[in-house]
């Protein structure tokens, strides 16, 4: 296929996005080593680190206490998530000035099909224009990768940071990708790359060398080998789908506590709030769930996940929280303290996609379920207090 018949895909990757937003809100952070995490404590791990902090070897997912040991003067700040969402919307608004085909990959990156936009402007010129506009209007630096597939565009955006623009074409793919470490292959995974490196498969050229085919397959399996090979050769998807992630397949939330939770009633109260939160998000998407999940992590970092399937799809708070509390009661051990609690909903479907089966002939069944649920709630409140579980009264009239 000729290069001029290929699509032109941009991958726009915001550089140290969380730190960039922090600097906008707190200009005194510019030029100093800092990280995003939990303020006022050495517990937990860092979400990300500024480029100045990375120069000291500090990185995302590093325990805060270890980062402080490396650099005692490191400043750790926390920013409300709503500000990240605000600036996420800002940079997306600029991308959408150039293309209607924009696929959000995460809060700090997206793909855009710029084939039409590049008919009268060279891709690199367009990329630099977009880059400059985002930086000038919102003070957000970004790197842009350009290629004919989503995978190669993503690989390109990682090559020059910050404020880089890289284009990968069929004619320069081997030259640009070949010398890269197998650790740099998008999607290869942190567990797989050490296996390859240990076996002497150090670069993408090593991986792609036909002489190493049997060796690589023995290490990672045929599926992974074929996946990587086809993606590197530019044979993967070139479809930018704006609706790919428009509907969540699952919704969850969790909270880590500086002061561990020991009281069952305290934990149930926390999980009730989490249940309200995930149900609110589910209702925003007009969805119903089939499966309810809780996550518990004790003070020794032992984590368990327990789930239950509902009889019917639902978005009813009382029903879902009764399942959450039941799972919690069954799995929280009295002699343990807990540092993390979580609630999740999965098996989501759009509410309008389900048939409306209720009618005058089965309304008695519905009422029976309501009576049973009210009895469960009354029994629960007698055991743990009225604040552990309650139902909002319907307004009269």
Catalytic residues: 109
User: How many CB atoms are closer than 10 A to CB 195?
Assistant: 13
Asked if residues 195 and 219 have their Cβ atoms less than 8 Å apart, the reply is yes
Asked if residues 12 and 130 have their Cβ atoms less than 8 Å apart, the reply is yes
Q: What angle do CA 347, 47, 336 make, to 5 degrees?
A: 65
**DSSP one-letter string for 205-222:** HHHH-GGGHHHHHHHH-H
- The separation between the first and the last C-alpha atoms of the chain, rounded to the nearest angstrom, is 70
Q: What angle do CA 270, 369, 254 make, to 5 degrees?
A: 20
- Grouping H, G, I as helix, E, B as strand and the rest as coil, residue 333 is coil
- Grouping H, G, I as helix, E, B as strand and the rest as coil, residue 113 is strand
Chain centroid to Cα 129, Å, comes to 28
Rg (CA), the chain: 25
Tell me the H-state helices in 302-362. Answer: 317-331
């Amino acid at each position: 296929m000729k290069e001029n018949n290929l699509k032109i895909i941009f991958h726009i990757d915001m550089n140290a996005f969380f730190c960039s937003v922090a600097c906008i809100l707190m200009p005194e952070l510019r030029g100093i080593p800092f990280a995003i995490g939990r303020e006022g404590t050495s517990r937990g791990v860092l979400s990300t680190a500024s480029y100045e902090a990375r120069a000291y070897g500090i990185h995302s997912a590093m325990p805060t206490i270890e980062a402080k040991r490396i650099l005692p003067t490191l400043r750790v700040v926390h920013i409300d998530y709503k500000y990240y969402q605000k600036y996420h919307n800002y940079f997306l608004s600029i991308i959408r000035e150039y293309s209607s085909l924009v696929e959000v990959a995460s809060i700090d990156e997206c793909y855009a099909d710029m084939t039409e936009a590049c008919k009268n402007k060279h891709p690199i010129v367009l990329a630099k224009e977009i880059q400059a506009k985002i930086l000038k209007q919102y003070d957000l630096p970004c790197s842009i990768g350009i290629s004919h597939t989503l995978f190669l565009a993503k690989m390109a955006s990682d090559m020059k940071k910050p404020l880089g623009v890289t284009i990968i074409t069929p004619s320069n793919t081997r030259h640009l990708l070949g010398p890269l470490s197998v650790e740099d292959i998008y999607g290869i995974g942190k567990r797989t790359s050490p296996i390859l490196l240990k076996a002497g498969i150090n670069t993408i050229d090593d991986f792609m060398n036909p002489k190493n085919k049997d060796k690589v397959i023995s290490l990672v399996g045929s599926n992974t080998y074929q996946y990587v090979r086809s993606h590197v050769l530019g044979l993967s998807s070139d479809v930018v789908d704006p609706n790919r992630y428009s509907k969540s397949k699952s919704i969850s939330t969790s909270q880590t506590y500086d002061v561990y939770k020991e009281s069952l009633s305290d934990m149930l109260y926390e999980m009730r709030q989490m249940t309200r939160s995930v149900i609110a998000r589910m209702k925003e998407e007009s969805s119903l769930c089939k499966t309810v999940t809780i996550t518990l992590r004790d003070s020794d970092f032992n984590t368990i996940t327990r789930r239950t399937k509902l009889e019917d799809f639902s978005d009813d708070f009382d029903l879902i929280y009764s399942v959450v509390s039941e799972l919690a009661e069954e799995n929280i051990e009295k002699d343990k303290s807990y540092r993390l609690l979580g609630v999740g909903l999965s098996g989501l479907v759009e509410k309008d996609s389900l048939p409306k089966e209720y009618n005058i002939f089965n309304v008695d069944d519905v009422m029976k379920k309501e009576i049973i649920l009210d009895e469960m709630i009354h029994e629960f409140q007698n055991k743990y207090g009225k604040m552990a579980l309650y139902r909002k009264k319907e307004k009269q009239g």
